[in-house]
A and B are shown apart, each in its own frame.
Chain A
Amino acid sequence: MSSMKRCGAALLVTAVVMLSGCSTGSIGVRSDVGSQPFEAGKTTRTDVVNKIGLPQNVEKDDAGNDHYFYERSAHLTGMCLGCGVVGNTNGAIPAAAIEHSKAKAKKNVVEFVFNPEGTLINGQ
């Protein structure tokens, strides 16, 4: 019984290790973007950047307003099955998986709009 318990525990640990990605830090893309109490007409671009970091994309519209787009997650850029090192390796996994991941990240976006003076007009 005790050997079965040990075996079960070992399996559990293995499964946890296999399923949780091991890394020496993180990028820190915030999944809670959009939940901060920013106030249109008061919050500035600097306030937003200081609070949640830089956006993943910036666009300027015809009126001179800046649109900041924040993704709530990083996206897959490479995957290597059965190897120890990855450097944008698409080999074993179809490029579709990476494209799907990118598209998913782009869908889950929060947008903040700043007027030319740098004040928040509206967000989310």
Chain B
Amino acid sequence: MTRLFAAFGLVLMLAGCAAVPKLSASDADRVQGGRSAVLFVDDVAQINYLQDKYYVLAVTQEGSTSVYKGIWNSSKDLSAVNADEFSKLGLKAKSAYEIFSEQDLARLTQQDKIRFTMQSRPPVGGAGAPAAQGVAPELRQALLDKGQDYLIWASWSGYTLHIQTLGLPPNEQFQLRYWIVDLKQNKVLGGGDVGWLHSVDLAGQTGKDFLEKDNLAGFRAQVEKQIRARFKDPPKPTVGTVLGLKEPA
């Protein structure tokens, strides 16, 4: 029941966001044949914790956050994870961090970070700007100069660990969003969202210990495992099928 409410909440949170359509079959073929740079931008950089408490007459929810900005370079690591998985889908994909230095990438992507995001910020360039426009001219030219045909920009909602009450297990949730940009035409060809909401076994530990001890070992492993699983987890929609890069099984 709680899972239903959480799913409903997630849907409400995402309602109103401009939907990014999946690739047409011909665009998917072109992307498969070209070179793609993969860039994951973690503009959240914090873990969200929620804990429900049951008091018979009331249920309360407590929250806390854990900031990992400057402690884990998640954008770099998760760009590599996504590039690896896109390669397994048959794309000639490479992490943007293999193409540019971190400093150059930070400078080149600065302008587009506020457009290609799942965070609720005022849209720049009018409603639907990300779907209508490509990337900033400097980023586009830099990628073209490096022989790239497409940019797969990925971002996410951030990771939430929700500890429930009434005997329900803790769950973890996040939403991934992808945009595929044709660099030659400088326009977004398509994209899509892939969500994850599932119970998680904390093995008797607190949420913070489960995710944060040993230099975030649990968190890093959990995020990588679940992102990789989103690429190969039929019958649930996979990243490949949602983006139109793969036919549903």
Contacts and interface: CB of A to CB of B under 8 A. Distances in A.
Interface residues of A, number: 45
Contact of A21 (B50, B54, B209): B54
Instruction: Tell me if B's interface is mostly helix, strand, loop or mixed.
Output: mixed
B71 A45 contact: yes
A115 interface: no
Nearest to B72: A54
Nearest to B62: A74
Given A56-B67, A74-B62, A24 B209 contact: no
Interface string B68-110: 1111000000000000000000000000000000000000000
B206 interface: yes
Contacts of B67: 54-58
Given A76-B60, A79-B58, A24 B71 contact: no
Contacts of B66: 53-56
A40 interface: no
B221 interface: no
Interface stretch (B2-10, B35-43, B134-142, B143-151): B2-10
Nearest to A26: B206
A14 B66 CA distance: 35
A86 interface: yes
